[in-house]
Structure 1
Amino acid sequence: MSLFPRSLYNSDSPFNPIFRLLEDYDTYSRRDQNTHNARMIHWQPKFDICETPRAYELHGELAGMKKKEVHLEFTDPQTLVIRGKSERTYTSGNPPAGFVEGPTAHGALEGGGAEPSKSQPQQPDKDDKHDEKTKYWLAERSVGEFSRTFNFPSHVDQDGVSASFQDGILTIIVPKVKKHESRRIHID
């Protein structure tokens, strides 16, 4: 829930950063103190929507997600619902050789008396849950389930909708239904 309606601030306003800060603080303060439990948190990705003479274009930020985690469906003739689920994944293990830049004397992991390892790519272990002893210093990524609903003001061509997902940006083109033009019929 936003503290301020989106119509109150736009990208040209000098107060936009303040409104965004207050909205982010509101979102943060509403979270449960233990954000690392099994319960999924709901979040809303940001979307830009523009209207052209022939279609509506939606561009949404879904950083870190894969296209198989996002689902689109029309629930009504003019209502598009976008749903998805983002989960946090972690990697563990030693970084591959050359991963850490600069000298290794300042806190980098070093071998414990074993012979030097050869430069081979390592496959990180992926875990969805972290050890209970892990202390988070910062957790800003949006994770959990999301659902966005968009109601279009005019009729749309559901069969002509196209969607693409590249570099964390979901682009959806929703064509408008062509207006029915009146036609005169000549009488013979």
Structure 2
Amino acid sequence: MSLIPSFFGETSALVITRVDWKETPEAHVFKADLPGLKKEEVKVEVEDDKVLQISGEQKVKKEEKKETWHRVERSSGKFLRRFKLPENAKMDQVKAAMENGVLTVTVPKVEVKKPDVKSIEISG
């Protein structure tokens, strides 16, 4: 009897990928924990100039006949996260970097122009 769950074989499970989204004065910043993944296994895309999409797949290693698994807890399978960004996002300037299993996606914001204020002298 095998202790390996049925999803361990050829079929992939949907992996829950946690993503933090913060807004700074300059940008929207997304951070996703993707342990064990290489940057070549992750896609960052912009859809319709308003949706940020992060996707990829955590591959499962094939079972060896000589190995006996006692527990399988690490997630494997495909993941997909989509975020609709506000109007102030510069979708044409999105940058992504991956370091130590953490993907950081930075979406700069359109600078909000402060209104010109002109003082009017009051006569009388």
Report the TM range for the smaller structure's normalisation: 0.7 to 0.9
Alignment RMSD, CA only?
Answer: 2.2
Q: Which residue of 2 aligns with 1:48?
A: 20
Q: Which residue of 2 aligns with 1:99?
A: none
C-alpha distance in 1 between matches for 2:48 and 2:65: 44
Q: Which residue of 1 aligns with 2:42?
A: 70
SS at match of 1:35: helix
The reply to whether residue 153 of structure 1 matches residue 74 of structure 2 is no
Q: What do residues 38-78 of structure 1 show as CA deviations (whole Å, max 9, x unaligned)?
A: 01111121111111011111111000000000011111222
Q: Which residue of 2 aligns with 1:169?
A: 102
Shift of 1:164: 0.7
Q: How does 1:1-188 map to 2 (within 5 A)?
A: 33-89=5-61, 129-131=62-64, 134-179=67-112
Shift of 1:87: 0.7
In terms of fraction of residues, the more strand-rich structure is 2
Q: Which residue of 1 aligns with 2:120?
A: none
Going from structure 1 to structure 2, the CA distance change for 1:77 and 1:183 (only over 3 Å counts) comes to farther
- TM-score, normalized by length of structure 2? 0.80
Show structure 2 runs of 5+ residues with no match: 118-124
Q: What do residues 128-182 of structure 1 show as CA deviations (whole Å, max 9, x unaligned)?
A: x113574321111111111000112333112221111000000111111223566
C-alpha distance in 2 between matches for 1:135 and 1:41: 21
- TM-score, normalized by length of structure 1? 0.54
